[in-house]
Protein backbone atom coordinates (compact mmCIF):
# COMPACT_ATOMS: atom_id res chain seq x y z
CA UNK A 1 0.00 0.00 0.00
CA UNK A 2 2.26 2.78 -1.27
CA UNK A 3 5.07 1.76 1.06
CA UNK A 4 2.94 2.10 4.21
CA UNK A 5 2.64 -0.89 6.51
CA UNK A 6 -1.03 -2.02 6.72
CA UNK A 7 -0.37 -3.36 10.22
CA UNK A 8 0.56 0.16 11.36
CA UNK A 9 -2.55 1.63 9.71
CA UNK A 10 -4.74 -0.93 11.46
CA UNK A 11 -3.19 -0.21 14.83
CA UNK A 12 -3.56 3.54 14.33
CA UNK A 13 -7.25 3.14 13.47
CA UNK A 14 -7.82 1.05 16.60
CA UNK A 15 -6.08 3.70 18.70
CA UNK A 16 -8.13 6.41 17.00
CA UNK A 17 -11.35 4.58 17.87
CA UNK A 18 -10.31 4.09 21.48
CA UNK A 19 -9.28 7.72 21.73
CA UNK A 20 -12.65 8.91 20.44
CA UNK A 21 -14.47 6.72 22.96
CA UNK A 22 -12.27 8.03 25.76
CA UNK A 23 -12.89 11.62 24.68
CA UNK A 24 -16.65 11.00 24.76
CA UNK A 25 -16.46 9.58 28.28
CA UNK A 26 -14.36 12.54 29.41
CA UNK A 27 -16.93 14.97 28.00
CA UNK A 28 -19.76 13.10 29.70
CA UNK A 29 -17.97 13.25 33.08
CA UNK A 30 -17.39 16.97 32.63
CA UNK A 31 -21.09 17.48 31.93
CA UNK A 32 -22.16 15.74 35.16
CA UNK A 33 -21.46 18.86 37.21
CA UNK A 34 -23.73 21.03 35.07
CA UNK A 35 -27.43 21.49 35.67
CA UNK A 36 -29.40 18.43 34.67
CA UNK A 37 -32.68 20.32 34.28
CA UNK A 38 -33.62 21.21 30.71
CA UNK A 39 -33.04 24.83 29.88
CA UNK A 40 -35.57 26.76 27.81
CA UNK A 41 -34.58 27.43 24.23
CA UNK A 42 -32.07 24.57 24.06
CA UNK A 43 -32.91 21.46 22.05
CA UNK A 44 -33.22 18.24 23.99
CA UNK A 45 -30.92 15.37 23.16
CA UNK A 46 -32.31 12.93 20.66
CA UNK A 47 -32.50 9.26 21.59
CA UNK A 48 -30.11 6.95 19.82
CA UNK A 49 -26.40 6.46 19.51
CA UNK A 50 -24.16 9.52 19.29
CA UNK A 51 -22.23 9.92 16.06
CA UNK A 52 -18.91 9.99 17.88
CA UNK A 53 -19.52 6.55 19.37
CA UNK A 54 -20.52 5.09 16.00
CA UNK A 55 -17.46 6.63 14.33
CA UNK A 56 -15.20 5.26 17.06
CA UNK A 57 -16.64 1.77 16.70
CA UNK A 58 -16.32 1.87 12.91
CA UNK A 59 -12.71 3.07 13.13
CA UNK A 60 -11.92 0.33 15.63
CA UNK A 61 -13.54 -2.39 13.51
CA UNK A 62 -11.81 -1.15 10.35
CA UNK A 63 -8.49 -1.09 12.18
CA UNK A 64 -8.95 -4.63 13.46
CA UNK A 65 -9.86 -5.89 9.99
CA UNK A 66 -6.84 -4.22 8.39
CA UNK A 67 -4.52 -5.49 11.13
CA UNK A 68 -5.82 -9.07 10.85
CA UNK A 69 -5.57 -9.07 7.04
CA UNK A 70 -2.02 -7.69 7.25
CA UNK A 71 -1.11 -10.35 9.80
CA UNK A 72 -2.54 -13.14 7.63
CA UNK A 73 -0.78 -11.91 4.48
CA UNK A 74 2.61 -11.59 6.18
What are the structural domain ranges in the chain? 1-30+50-74
pLDDT score of 58 more than 70: yes
Average pLDDT over residues 30-45: 57
Q: What is the pLDDT of residue 30?
A: 58
Q: Does position 37 have pLDDT exceeding 70, yes or no?
A: no
Cα dihedral sign, 64-8-59-28: positive
Amino acid sequence: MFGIDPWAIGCLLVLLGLGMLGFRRFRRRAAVGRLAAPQPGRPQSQPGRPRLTVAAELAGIAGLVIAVVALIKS
